[in-house]
């Protein structure tokens, strides 16, 4: 092989076929079961009254557990029937989890249970409020009305996140009737 072009092409073919990069390093597995990105302790302990004040405009039942404040909003306006029969409204709930990060930002993840005709409005409202829609999936099979679950997440100013979620829930839930007086 006296032709230098043939030598270069032969060498290039060998490199391409064999690969020129070192094999990727093997991922290390942790044996503790803890995630590698475990966050530092959350900022201070938040008590229930602080969270109740910050989220007073949102409907639903509230609970504080391990500095994560959870609001559950039942879809009492829905009467759902499926292959397994009537589905109680208590099992059809939107769930929203709030917490404060060590960086000082408010964080929220959640799931909204919506009718199929509410999906576009809910996704538009979430996006307009800076909340990221992460997934959309069915809640049941062969139910009427058709229900979908919208998962979302966001970080930022806690008051802003609460206001945005208030707007989303206001569009989804019917107004509460006034008490007879």
Any domain includes 107: yes
Any domain includes 112: yes
pTM: 0.69
Any domain includes 6: no
Percent helix / strand / coil, the chain, rounded to 5? 30, 30, 40
Q: Hey, which of 23-37, 48-62, 118-132 has the most confident mean pLDDT?
A: 118-132
Any domain includes 34: no
Which tens digits make up the pLDDT trace of 80-92? 999 889 988 878 9
How far is it, in rounded angstroms, from Cα 47 to Cα 45? Answer: 6
Residue 75 has pLDDT above 80, yes or no: yes
pLDDT interval class at 136 (50, 70, 90): very high
- State the alpha helices, DSSP H only, in the chain: 4-18, 48-54, 119-128, 158-172
The residue range of the domain holding 95 is 48-172
Cβ pair 106, 51 in contact under 8 A: no
- Structure confidence at residue 11 (pLDDT): 54
Any domain includes 41: no
How far is it, in rounded angstroms, from Cα 92 to Cα 11? Answer: 65
Q: How many domains does the chain have?
A: 1
Any domain includes 1: no
Any domain includes 85: yes
Residue 145 has pLDDT above 80, yes or no: yes
């Amino acid at each position: 092989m006296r032709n230098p072009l043939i030598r270069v092409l032969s060498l290039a073919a060998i490199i391409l076929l064999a690969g020129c990069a070192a094999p990727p390093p093997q991922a290390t597995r942790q044996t503790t079961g803890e995630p590698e990105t475990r966050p530092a302790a959350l900022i201070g302990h938040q008590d229930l009254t602080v969270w109740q004040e910050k989220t007073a405009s949102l409907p639903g039942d509230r609970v504080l557990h391990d500095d994560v404040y959870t609001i559950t909003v039942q879809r009492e306006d829905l009467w759902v029937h499926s292959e397994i029969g009537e589905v109680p409204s208590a099992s059809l709930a939107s769930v929203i989890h709030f917490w404060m990060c060590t960086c000082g930002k408010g964080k929220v993840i959640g799931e909204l249970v919506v009718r199929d005709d509410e999906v576009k409005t809910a996704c538009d409202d979430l996006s307009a409020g800076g909340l990221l829609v992460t997934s959309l999936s069915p809640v049941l099979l062969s139910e009427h009305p058709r229900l979908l679950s919208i998962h979302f997440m966001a970080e930022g100013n806690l008051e802003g996140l609460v206001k945005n979620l208030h707007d989303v829930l206001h569009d989804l839930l019917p107004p509460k009737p006034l008490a007879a007086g």
